[in-house]
């Protein structure tokens, strides 16, 4: 047998005020608009059913004496031991009757107010492609958007000037209609925008000739975007209040700009660092050299290749990488030096290399000399 006191977590001799408070707390917890767990609706229904009996002194007395059988509703006639036809629609009705006038409608998106009255306009989302160099410098861009503006002819009401909208008879101005469907799983209540007024709660008999009754018109506008230096792909720019105008005088939405930084054939971005691959000849690697390398925004930089550099070794040009978006300073340009072995030789090169072979020393055995060299080889293969 269902214990309604237990369901609400109250004592058998609790007063009406305590019961109401207990119900309110549980209903708020289980309300399907706030609680997405699968049994939230069932729990909401159960605590509401219990409350509905215990709040009424007569029902409560019957329940105390005869249990559920004493308060079985005549209407509905649910399955034996079930809820006697008490379904979610009933539960919701009880909840709104008790708390609907206390601002809880707003917390839950207000079933009725959700579809009528002023509403915030939609956000506009757009993608913006910038080159890696633009991302490094920062860039200002004018971007064309199609945005909904309040109609100036009707002032956003949607009604032809001189006429007024009329309350919708289908939904009585609520803007929504409820449908109860019965299925094997029980009753299913769906709430949907009123088909006759589209959720506005009122109908426009003489639509504005400019906006056809929508109250808003789509216009082309150019917005200036300030892309800060250091942005990365998937960073967002947000222009607050620059999106679509709201219905019925509601606030404007935002413009959200999703940045996409195009890849650059020269540089590979790793966080705030830029990796540049530099091929050097065998003699440059052995003897050392000064080589010009391109940077992202500082022109060419002179890089000193130390003598004896190994293939794969990295050199850093400090502060020549990407600006840090949320910090000062810039990352580094990492120059990865790769020793290029010639694939075809001139006669002279062949002669010189053969002479070199006669006199050059052997490369090191693994893990003997040149530990730095073998460390780097290991790292190159595990990276």
Nearest residue to 47 (alpha-carbon basis) of 80, 22, 78, 84: 22
23 vs 9: CA distance, rounded Å: 9
Contact 249, 157 (CB under 8 A): no
Short-list 260, 323, 321, CA closest to 296: 321
Sheet holding 236-239, edge to edge: 124-130, 255-261, 236-239
Smallest gap from Cβ 204 to Zn ion, in A, equals 10
Of the pair 26, 154, the CB lying nearest Zn ion is at 154
Q: Which residue has the tokens 């971007």?
A: 143
Nearer to Zn ion, 50 or 200 (CB): 200
Distances (CA, A) of 112 to 36, 104, 191, 316: 20, 12, 10, 63
Smallest gap from Cβ 113 to Zn ion, in A, equals 14
Look at residues 351, 263, 276 and name the one whose alpha carbon lies nearest to residue 316. Answer: 276
- Among residues 244 and 295, whose Cβ is nearest to Zn ion? 244
Is residue 320 within 8 Å of 295, Cβ to Cβ? yes
Question: How far, in Å, are 151, 285, 303, 360 from residue 312 at the CA level?
Answer: 64, 11, 16, 22
For 67, other C-beta atoms within 10 Å of its C-beta total 14
Min dist. Cβ of residue 112 to Zn ion (A): 11
Q: For Zn ion, which is the closer residue by CB, 161 or 308? A: 161
Closest approach of Zn ion to the CB of residue 242, in Å: 21
Least distance CB 219 / Zn ion (angstroms)? 13
Task: Give phi and psi for 143, each to the nearest 5.
Answer: -125, 135
Q: What is the smallest separation between the CB atom of 187 and Zn ion, expressed in angstroms?
A: 23
Give the binding site for Zn ion (CB under 5 A).
151, 153-154, 168, 170-171, 194, 196-197, 208, 210-211
Residue 146 beta carbon to Zn ion: minimum distance, rounded to whole angstroms: 17
Q: Three-state DSSP class for 300?
A: strand
Q: How far is the CB of 87 from Zn ion (least distance, A)?
A: 24
**In the complex with Zn ion, which residue's Cβ is closer, 202 or 254?**
202
> What DSSP state is assigned to residue 175?
S
Long-range contacts of range 8-11, CB-CB < 8 Å, 24 or more positions apart?
A: 8/47, 8/50, 8/51, 8/54, 10/54
> For residues 246 and 323, which CB has a smaller minimum distance to Zn ion in the complex?
246
161 vs 372 by CB, closer to Zn ion: 161
**Which CB sits closer to Zn ion, 172 or 263?**
172
């Amino acid at each position: 047998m269902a214990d309604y006191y237990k369901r609400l977590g109250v004592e058998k001799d609790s007063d009406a005020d305590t019961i109401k408070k207990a119900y309110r707390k549980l209903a708020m917890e289980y309300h399907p608009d706030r609680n997405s767990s699968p049994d939230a609706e069932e729990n909401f229904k159960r605590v509401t059913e219990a409350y509905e009996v215990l709040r009424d002194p007569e029902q409560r007395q019957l329940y105390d004496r005869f249990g559920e059988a004493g308060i079985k509703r005549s209407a509905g006639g649910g399955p034996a031991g079930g809820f006697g036809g008490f379904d979610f629609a009933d539960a919701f009705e009880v909840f709104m009757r008790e708390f609907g006038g206390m601002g809880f409608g707003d917390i839950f998106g207000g079933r009725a107010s959700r579809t009528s009255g002023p509403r915030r306009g939609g956000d506009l989302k757009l993608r913006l492609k910038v080159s890696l160099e633009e991302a490094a410098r920062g860039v200002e861009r004018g971007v064309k958007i199609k945005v909904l503006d309040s109609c100036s002819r009707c002032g956003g009401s949607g009604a032809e000037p001189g006429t007024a909208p009329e309350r919708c008879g289908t939904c009585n101005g609520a803007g929504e209609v409820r449908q109860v469907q019965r299925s094997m799983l029980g009753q299913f209540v769906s709430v949907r925008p009123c088909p006759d007024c589209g959720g506005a709660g009122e109908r426009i008999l003489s639509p504005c000739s400019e906006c056809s009754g929508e109250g808003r018109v789509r216009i082309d506008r150019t917005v200036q975007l300030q892309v800060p230096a250091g942005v990365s792909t998937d960073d967002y720019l947000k222009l607050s209040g620059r999106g679509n105008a709201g219905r019925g005088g509601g606030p404007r939405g935002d413009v959200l700009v999703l940045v996409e930084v195009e890849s650059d054939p020269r540089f590979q971005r790793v966080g705030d660092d830029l990796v540049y691959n530099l091929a050097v000849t065998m003699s440059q690697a052995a003897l050392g050299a000064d080589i010009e390398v391109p940077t992202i925004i500082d022109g060419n930089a002179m890089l000193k290749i130390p003598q004896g550099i190994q293939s794969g070794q990295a050199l850093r040009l400090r502060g020549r990488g990407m600006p840090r978006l949320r910090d000062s300073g810039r990352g580094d340009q990492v120059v990865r030096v790769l020793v290029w072995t010639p694939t075809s030789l001139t006669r002279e090169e062949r002669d010189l290399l053969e002479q070199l072979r006669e006199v050059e020393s052997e490369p090191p055995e693994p893990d003997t000399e040149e530990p730095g060299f073998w460390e780097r080889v290991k790292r190159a293969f595990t990276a």
